A and B are shown apart, each in its own frame.
Chain A
Amino acid sequence: MGLISNGSTIFDAGSMSAGFGGSMVFIKKLTASSSATLSFVHGASGVVLDNTYKEYVFTFNNIHAATDAADFTVNFRDGGTAYDATKTTTFFLANHGENDTNNFEYTSSKDLAEGTGVQSIGRRPGNDADQSSSGMLHLYDPSNTTFVKHFSSRVNSYLDSDFTEECYVAGYINVTAAIDGVQFKMASGNIDSGDICLYGIA
């Protein structure tokens, strides 16, 4: 049954029509519990990651690493089951220690040039009880089969060395196949706790 008011379809086929209920639409929340990976795959477990939206936003809330100083990373899948899409990226950071020393740099050891490996988006978060990473990643038009897929992220972390550090990453996935899965994990060890939410921007 649909619900139509003044000629506008508000509900149909069990969901609200586009244009109602706001433009930032919650899709899925994954909560880590000693998790090796957290993966968002189109069509699985209620995840939408196709041309329904032109932009997707992942938010990271207190991602806590099991292993000290292991980078928080992302990778993408482009048709197969492996998360190994080719990427070219930039990576720069600003950090400031509780001891009042700071650093602002481009970090060539963390960028990728046509790499298929994971992309670090949060560098060296600590695993003390109160240490974590929070931030967001924007992925644009993942199902486009003409263009590469752009993404950008900002993640702030409480480092193992008691610094605040914000990492800025941007790049493109250098494929014209659709991106239908996004996976997050630590460079070493599990994601002890934290949650990642996926939103579609209508």
Chain B
Amino acid sequence: MTVISNGTNLINNGTLDSGVATGKMTLIKTLTASSSATLSFVDGASSVVLDGTYDSYVFKCINIHPATDNVSFQINFRDGGTNYDATKTTTFFRAFHTEADATGFGYATAVDLAQSTSSQTINWNLGNGNDESGCSTIQLFNPSSTTFVKHFIVRSTDYGEDNSIGDRFIAGYCNVTTAIDGVQFSFSSGNIDSGVIKLYGIGG
């Protein structure tokens, strides 16, 4: 059955017509940690889409809780092989405020990357107390481009092991022109005890 309104095709052959304005933030995949060493999103595996289908992709990391105290939650990218080791150059600055009322604001050279294949810190010095966790949003632009480097932008907050709020601003690029077809999250030490990561496609 076709649904036509005001001369415009709305539904045909079981799908919305492409001309119908719809929401453009599409949930692709949810991964839930359970004492997990890594959580990985790989294009074409387990229903994950991470290619040219969408203009950009957003990862929402919710209440990521480490098994080990004072560790960093981190991200890395794969650029064709099976290893998550794409070369990256990044920036990192942050504001923090402890429950004892100490504050800080500035660039953090300890956790940026210059042409490094190492993982990029998202949550820094995260605590593993029962109520401690980190949250973040990562936007990855056009990962399948074979012309340009791959830009990404992050904002994260964490409940630090020193009982502080950390507000982290991270950005950079994967300095490769091969497609990025996988994204992996892990801790610098120990497992991801619990937490949820959702992948959304934007636009398309």
Contact = CB atoms under 8 A, between A and B. Distances in A.
A136 to B, nearest CB: 8
Contact of B151 (A95, A135, A195): A135
Contacts of A20: 22
Contacts of B151: 62, 132-135, 156-158
Given A3-B5, A98-B175, A134-B151, A22 B55 contact: no
A99 B115 CA distance: 8
A43 interface: no
B178 to A, nearest CB: 11
Interface stretch (B37-45, B66-74, B106-114, B121-129): B106-114
Interface in B56-73: 56
Nearest to B200: A24
B2 to A, nearest CB: 11
Nearest to A199: B24
A11 B10 CA distance: 8
Most buried by A among B16, B24, B169: B24
Interface in B1-51: 3-8, 10, 16, 20-26
A15 interface: yes
Interface in B137-184: 139, 141-142, 145, 147-149, 151-153, 169, 171-173, 175, 177
Interface stretch (A73-81, A137-145, A159-167, A175-183): A159-167
A166 B171 contact: yes
A193 to B, nearest CB: 8
Interface stretch (B86-94, B95-103, B187-195): B86-94
Chain B's interface: helix, strand, loop or mixed, by majority? strand
Contact of B24 (A12, A25, A96, A195): A25
Contact of B147 (A2, A11, A95, A130): A130
B105 to A, nearest CB: 10
A123 interface: no
Nearest to B112: A96
A163 B172 CA distance: 9
A2 B5 contact: yes
Given A164-B90, A164-B173, A24 B23 contact: yes
A131 interface: yes
B10 A16 contact: yes
B202 interface: yes
Given A14-B5, A25-B24, A29-B203, A96 B55 contact: no
Please name the 6 residue pairs, one residue from A and one from B, whose CB atoms are nearest each other, closest first.
A22-B23, A14-B8, A21-B22, A104-B107, A14-B6, A166-B171
